A and B are shown apart, each in its own frame.
Chain A
């Protein structure tokens, strides 16, 4: 369903709408259950801000399917970024680990968009300081390509071929009042 805004500076094109996002998350939940033998020892860690909402939604679906709760937390990666010196110091997000910690668990990192892979690199470093998970997996709602590091996602909502000049915007109900993934094209003019 293409949504072109005429005469606008940037052209917005909805790649995923609310129901599509929901279906993608349900599929990812099933895949997580399949790959981890019913979600045993799984901890979902969302990367602020939208990754945290996605992680909570995944946990909700998993509880619905398997009837047992999955620990959810958040992992702020600001202090581990490799581009801190390109901008003024940023405010920190929240890091909240489940009470049982992450040692010997299968940690599934959850983020909205997978792009250069640098956020995930920072997240892996942050995890390293917090404990020793048995395995770390990665779930992303959108994989837009253009990796700059040898990192790939284990669970992907949608593979979205993009050019580097395009911008992918994820909107989530909890944060932005609606669910959508938009692809913004910079006009050549």
Chain B
């Protein structure tokens, strides 16, 4: 495994399976009365969050703490960043404090990659701009594997704003590594130009794809990024690309519904679909902690491998 986790493409099939298997073992920790392992004792993990986040930051914090690492939380608000400090200077400050692992979320795509060149510790990408969010893809793959068994040959449909979605990009890369067949469904305006080179199929029509899908992953309509006329009205989007009760009824009996959260109920997903037993939305949050524990253990738990990226 590489020293940093910046893109889902950094993971070979063996790496990805090792992370998922490790997570499988670590999941048992949450059933124990003492939910803690001494493995990362004396190691420091810095959560560097330049963008708002609840579940990812809490999830990484819980994961690091369950492995006994010291956790330093940093959010851009209320820090020297608001005084104009650059990413590099912030990184050097952290370096001086001796961070063994840096978990970074940043609004600029590529920020974790730059950071990896400045710090000695392992860098974990917790979402950079519209680029990638590899641990989300890992926890999604883990959730699918728990529900469906193997991912080999499974059909996964990812629906919504692919253009701005780091979750979609990481999922496409990881799921194809794991042998699943991914189909992206979105209005043409919400697909990136480069999508033709991704290892997946593309469709504009949700209704033809749904009956064949084993997994339907709904993406959030990111209102904060909807600054151009990507679709005429929210109602029209919801009618054509929302997972409502009727579409839900046409899914296969064992198909599961996923959403990386936070969701807009009634927009991309109907409330009763989100709350149905076939939805894994709450499960995904719990699985996030164990998957991130596995990532932190595999990156920080062993010997320091030195500078090889």
Q: Is the CB of B21 within 8 A of A85?
A: no
How many angstroms from the CA of A80 to the CA of B300 in the assembled complex? 14
A51 smallest CB distance to B (angstroms): 17
Q: Is the CB of A92 within 8 A of B22?
A: yes
How many angstroms from the CA of A89 to the CA of B26 in the assembled complex? 14
A94 at the interface (CB under 8 A from B): yes
List of B residues within 8 angstroms of A112 by Cβ: none
A103 smallest CB distance to B (angstroms): 10
Interface residues of B in 22-78 (CB under 8 A from A): 22, 25-26, 28, 32, 34, 36-39
Q: Which of A79, A90, A94, A125 has the most CB of B within 10 A?
A: A79
Q: Is the interface of B mostly helix, strand, loop or mixed?
A: loop
Which of A92, A95, A125, A130 makes the CB contact (< 8 A) with B38? A125
Interface size (B, Cβ < 8 Å)? 22
How many angstroms from the CA of A87 to the CA of B299 in the assembled complex? 12
A92-B25, A95-B28, A129-B32 as given contacts; A86 in contact with B303, CB under 8 Å: yes
Which of B32, B38, B301 makes the CB contact (< 8 A) with A89? B301
Q: Is the CB of B302 within 8 A of A90?
A: yes
Which of A89, A94, A129 makes the CB contact (< 8 A) with B297? A89
Q: Which of A84, A86, A90, A91 has the most CB of B within 10 A?
A: A84
B202 at the interface (CB under 8 A from A): no
List of A residues within 8 angstroms of B26 by Cβ: 92
List of A residues within 8 angstroms of B297 by Cβ: 79, 89
Q: Is the CB of A87 within 8 A of B302?
A: yes
List of A residues within 8 angstroms of B36 by Cβ: 129
List of A residues within 8 angstroms of B22 by Cβ: 91-92
A19 smallest CB distance to B (angstroms): 36
Closest 8 CB pairs of A and B: A89-B302, A88-B302, A89-B301, A92-B25, A79-B39, A79-B37, A129-B34, A89-B298
Chain A residues engaging chain B, CB cutoff 8 angstroms = 76, 79-80, 84-95, 125, 129-130
